[in-house]
A and B are shown apart, each in its own frame.
Chain A
């Protein structure tokens, strides 16, 4: 028997020579296994992420082989490290320059909540300025934790309805961050 695992097909109607399922599921399947992350790494969590990208943990096996250091083709913003208030507008601009659909993962205590830096100069969690989908705890989180967070993002992407980004609820959520 082969050691290779193949992703299960989404639920659908199978017959000889055709397979019918919903468009959302096909799109979700494709998207979730070809996420292109934009690593916004500012501190120690960024170093931990470099280990995740290395051959031992091999982030690339999830279809995230091409890290985009430009917002242009990226669909997953990974914020890793302390975000100072002075960096806040820069992070928000990067988020705004990414095209929908886009997801955000806050890696580590600093990006999630300000961490140990309960200080005048540090943003107390990036969810004050941009919406966040998944938080990864840890200071810094081990590569396994980052992979786990990425797996959670993949689940979200896989199960997202094609209409979600057009819903009023989503628009209201963006409006609460002052994003049109």
Chain B
């Protein structure tokens, strides 16, 4: 079975979804495109179940916070075990309304990945069977990977170099 090239994949998707996919790029040869949150489950299930490309493995599911655009992107990395090709799908959400349908209907692996994404970014996955924090303590009260939080408390004095003879 010949590997499907990025061009073939995007042609196949273009036939099926047309204008619902946009921002198609190929950074470092990794085919990347975006869709909207209404269409994301359709696109993912097509990628998973289409016999030609067969992206049957969810490598990763995470989010990126873009504070300057007030956006949170949910990122899906898919891998085809059959032909060894990869693809990346992004969905941009507004940070005040970060909600997206769950992918755990397609991959059970998405369950914990989505819990982690909820834990760190506060993205709500609608229809998730058990959306609780997974890594942080339950009473943390914040989603620590959002970029409004500074890396270090600017008021600390106990880490100044003069205390360490530097």
Contact = CB atoms under 8 A, between A and B. Distances in A.
Interface of A: 85-86, 118, 120-121
Chain A contact residues: over half helix, strand or loop, or mixed? loop
Contact of A85 (B137, B152, B159): B137
Task: Output the residue of B137, B144, B153 with the most chain A CB within 10 A.
Answer: B137
Q: How large is the interface on B (under 10, 10 to 19, 20 to 34, 35 or more residues)?
A: 10 to 19
A121 B140 CA distance: 9
Nearest to B152: A118
A86 B136 contact: yes
B140 A120 contact: yes
Interface string B109-146: 00000000000000000000000000011001010100
16 contacts: A85-B137, A85-B140, A86-B136, A86-B137, A118-B152, A118-B153, A118-B156, A118-B159, A120-B136, A120-B140, A120-B142, A120-B144, A120-B149, A121-B136, A121-B137, A121-B144
A119 to B, nearest CB: 8
Contacts, number: 16
B104 to A, nearest CB: 24
Interface of B: 136-137, 140, 142, 144, 149, 152-153, 156, 159
Contacts of B159: 118
Nearest to A88: B137
Contacts of A85: 137, 140
A86 B119 CA distance: 14
Contacts of B152: 118
A120 B152 CA distance: 9
Q: Which 6 A-B pairs have the closest CB atoms?
A: A86-B137, A120-B144, A85-B137, A118-B152, A121-B136, A86-B136
A118 B157 CA distance: 13
Contacts of B144: 120-121
Contacts of A118: 152-153, 156, 159
B122 to A, nearest CB: 14
A118 B152 CA distance: 7
A121 B137 CA distance: 8
Given A86-B137, A118-B152, 8 more contacts: A85-B140, A118-B153, A120-B136, A120-B140, A120-B142, A120-B144, A120-B149, A121-B136
A166 B146 CA distance: 49
B153 to A, nearest CB: 8
B23 to A, nearest CB: 32
A49 B101 CA distance: 48
B65 to A, nearest CB: 15
